Structure 1
Amino acid sequence: MDAEPDKRGTSRVLVAAAVLLGLYQVVSMALYFWTYKPTGDTPLFSDFYAFWSFGRFLETMPAARIYDFKLLESFQHALLPGFHSFYPCAYPPTLLLFLKPLGMLGYLPAYLVWTVLGLGGFILAVGATAERSLLPWLAVLAPTTVLTIIFGQNGLITAALLIGALRIMERRPLLAGVLLGLLSCKPQLFVLLPLVLLAGRRWRTLFATGGTVLALVAASLVAFGLPAWLAWIKALPRFSRTIEAEWSSLGWKMPTVSAALRSAGASHTVLSVAQLTIAGAVTVILLALFHRGRKEAAPSSLDSAALQVGVFLTTPYAFVYDMPMVSAAAVMLAAARMAPGQAWRPGERILTITGFCLPMFIFSGVFNGIPLGPLILIPLFALLVRAAWTERTTPRTAP
């Protein structure tokens, strides 16, 4: 008797949440354009200028020279008169394969292609479901989505690749491997994935992932030559020093363990040990989780959610606009708890909401000096692992 009223009440909550989040997206974009001052030093959709300038650079210069920071800085200044900042290229030559075509377009057309690919892929990954529910679409309306669009960053693309691959892994294991292989263009988000596939004995997906990575490397060698790879490897320490030099403007956007410790004044040794410890623990936990479920039909949504947050925790370099995968993980937990026969456990609601809204909290400026990232993401990861493990070990009852 109570099931139908409960269902109607849940639907009202979801509709209200969708409306509020949609308004947040619209207001955020409106405020951005209202306050934007078209000066050369702050390009429209600022971070996208980096990707576009990399593509333009490759039209006239050898790829290996893009890792010459002084040369790239001069090029970016000449490309946009009045621009005095600098966007170093820390991406491997495999990503340059995809950025070069962007450089052939004008700035706004290239941005439009970039955004449509990212947002469209993300919608397909999280929203294309047989269930007629608003819940998956809350991930699309999450605060981190509009931040990623405003900055012109790649967080929607990386989230679409990871979530999409996990979602289709059972039905299309080879295609899932291709998607994961493409994610290797952002190595800090990729390094954990082959280990998880190995633990879960996902051999076909692992094979396709490795084949895709090898194909990308081979294509980049043909297109740019070995010097580009050697220059990239040589440039990585300089990129770390650049992050250190610009910490005051970058650090507060990084909700990672390393960023929290760095902001607290921890030494490089303490920071490195802590990051390695967290990354090692997260890796072991995820390997155990996916190994436990190796005989299941496919990774469950809770398995995927745990991996999405775990991938984020293992890297020292991640920003708020890399967090669409984290917001989607929070929505996956909500979907699991709102399914028939399920119920929220103590503390789950608040962690789900705070994890979902974390980018908004960070950009509000209210919590400056508080390491919100680790304080929320580590408990959220533990909660997701517990939920996924319980789902694995709880016997299914006959309908």
Structure 2
Amino acid sequence: MTEVAMQPSRIRSRSLFEVAIVTVVSIVGFGMADFYLRRLWTIGPDGLSALSKTLPYWDFSNLWAGGRMALDGHVDTLFDVDAYRAALRGMFGADLPNQEWSYPPSILLIGAPLAALPIFPAYLVWTFGTVLCLWLAVRPLKVGGAAELAIVLSPAVIWDAVFGQNGALTTALLIGGLAAAPRRPVLAGILFGLLTIKPHLGILVPFCLLACGNWRAIAAAAGTAALVAVATGLFFGFDVWSLFYTQTRPLMTGIMEAPFPQHYHANAMTVFFTARAIGFGVSAAYGLQAIATIVAIGAVVWLWRPGRQVEHAERVVLTAVLAILATPYGYTYDTIAVAVAAALLWTMVSRPPRLVLAICWLYAFVAHILNNAGFHIGVLVPSFLAGWMFFSIWVRSRGAQSRPKPSAA
């Protein structure tokens, strides 16, 4: 992919005011992280967390238990809700609240090896391993050591760890693939193929690759996705795919379309959920989400066409933020790209007010508080950052097009 080189001005020094903001925000962030993590690992007499009211591993217990069932030859249990819940209570205790298996079967390729370990060591390997993947993925963005630290210790990453979720891994696959696409298309395609463990977060990827004509990445992504599907079938039986389609997919659709509000809506951050919160019915909410998705697709097609006046790091991060707006199903632990965008913009001269960036970075910690209070404004955070970045790039591109070309000697 060819592009017009355009490095936005980066800040070379920090003012005392900036240092003060970073200090205050860091203290607030670490204080809230300490509060949530302490409550998460405060275990009651029933063996459940004071914060989550379930196991302190939270959603990771599904991945680990599903992997354990698959290793024991009971993979069909994953797709029978009552049998699955009974099996979980047999593993973890009779007081365990209801949980469901919600993942594509391909994630068992990760869950089964983790389930060979006891759950606590497996949780540590999962949490620190996925954060390491995230750090490796953001390094090519060249935002600097301080900004990289702000990303891997961001509230969104902490919240991802609290939930035992996969946001750090999926963000690493998305950002890593987008960053590698121009120069290492095969690697990019492999990462995109692996992202099919959570495919709704990769909605925009095909449009990015088509816009820039990156056929090698497209072929590598398709080949990797097919290989993952076949490997899953060979290890766990090809029936898992039909069971996923006929059992898990309708179950998750029902959870998403359930009457609003539900307890799990406290961390929802998509256009679809925001529309539900302000009173839209399911069909109208899907309609509003469709508009947001189409706008995001149009934005990335424009962004990834050759010749734009844009630094590749900006293109990558903006696309990752737009991916949050393009999907109807997303929660705070899926919004690590917001922290990446805030960190990138902090290093640039052309940026939103510093306090606004600080609020965006911290937002994952307070989203559930505001949602529970009836203020479902979380989608405004990625919307604002995406709008700011896109407008800046568009203005720069228009300015470059209007400049007279130097005459030939």
TM-score, length-normalised on structure 2?
Answer: 0.85
Distance 1:249 1:262 in 2: 14
CA distance in 2, matches of 1:233, 1:208: 25
Q: Tell me whether 1:204 sits opposite 2:227 in the alignment.
A: no
- 1:215 corresponds to: 227
- Over 3 Å counting, the alpha-carbon distance change for 1:309 and 1:131 in structure 2 is closer
Unmatched 5+ stretches in structure 1: none
Aligned-pair CA distance for 1:137: 2.0
Q: Give the deviation of 1:170 after TM superposition.
A: 3.1
Choose the corresponding residue for 1:261, options 248, 270, 275. 275
Q: 2:68 aligns with which of 56, 62, 75?
A: 56
Partner of 2:97, secondary structure, is: coil
Tell me what 1:276 maps to. Answer: 290
Give the count of matched residue pairs: 386
Q: Distance in 1 between matches of 2:297 and 2:57?
A: 35
- The 1-side partners of 2:260 and 2:97 are apart by 11
Asked if the contact 1:158–1:183 (Cα under 8 Å) also holds between the matched residues in 2, the reply is: yes
Q: Which moved more, 1:188-197 or 1:4-13?
A: 4-13
Q: 1:33 to 1:71 in 2, by over 3 A?
A: closer
Looking at structure 2, the residues matched to 356 and 202 of structure 1 have their Cα atoms a distance apart, in angstroms, of: 32
1:318 maps onto 2:330 in alignment: yes
Q: Is residue 380 of structure 2 the alignment partner of residue 387 of structure 1?
A: no
Structure with the larger RCO, 1 or 2 (CA within 8 Å, 6+ apart): 2
Aligned letter for 1:362?
Answer: A
Q: Equivalent residue for 2:339?
A: 327
Instruction: Judge conservation of contact 1:64–1:229 (CA < 8 Å) in 2.
Output: no
Tell me if the contact between 2:338 and 2:360 (Cα under 8 Å) persists in the aligned partners: yes
The aligned counterpart of 1:153 is 165
2:48 paired with 1:43: no
Residue-by-residue CA offset, 1:11-37 (whole Å, 9 max, x unaligned): 735762674266336523553256443
**Cα distance in 2, alignment partners of residues 219 and 111 from structure 1:** 24
Aligned to 1:168: 180
Aligned counterpart in structure 1 of residue 122 of structure 2, from 99, 104, 110: 110
Q: Which ranges in structure 2 are unaligned for 5 or more consecutive residues?
A: 1-9, 49-53, 404-409
Judging changes above 3 Å, is the alpha-carbon distance between structure 1 residues 210 and 65 closer, same or farther for their aligned structure 2 residues?
same
TM-score, L = length of structure 1: 0.86
1:302 to 292, 297, 314: 314
Q: Is the alpha carbon distance of 1:330 and 1:15 closer, same or farther for their aligned partners in structure 2, counting shifts above 3 Å?
A: closer
2:27 is paired with a residue whose SS is helix
Which residue pairs with 2:4 in the alignment? none
Q: 224-233 or 235-244, which moves further after superposition?
A: 235-244
The answer on whether the counterparts of 2:309 and 2:400 sit within 8 Å (CA) in structure 1 is no
* Equivalent residue, structure 2, for 1:80: 92
Whole-Å Cα distance in 1 between the matches of residues 45 and 60 of structure 2? 15
In percent, how many aligned pairs have the same letter? 25
Aligned position for 2:35? 28
**Do 2:40 and 2:162's aligned partners in 1 also have CA atoms closer than 8 Å?**
no
Shift of 1:259: 1.2
Following TM superposition, by how much is the alpha carbon of 1:316 offset from its aligned partner in structure 2, in angstroms?
A: 1.3
Residue in structure 2 matched with residue 241 of structure 1 by the alignment? 254
Is 1:226–2:238 an aligned residue pair? yes
Distance in 2 between the 1:122 and 1:322 partners? 13
CA distance in 1, matches of 2:142, 2:95: 47
Q: Secondary structure at the match of 2:133?
A: helix
Specify whether residues 290 and 169 from structure 1 end up closer, same or farther in structure 2 by C-alpha distance, changes over 3 A only.
same
Query: Residues of 2 paired with 1:330 and 1:173: CA distance?
Result: 27
Helix, strand or coil for the counterpart of 1:134? helix
Contact 1:170 1:297 in 2 (8 A): no
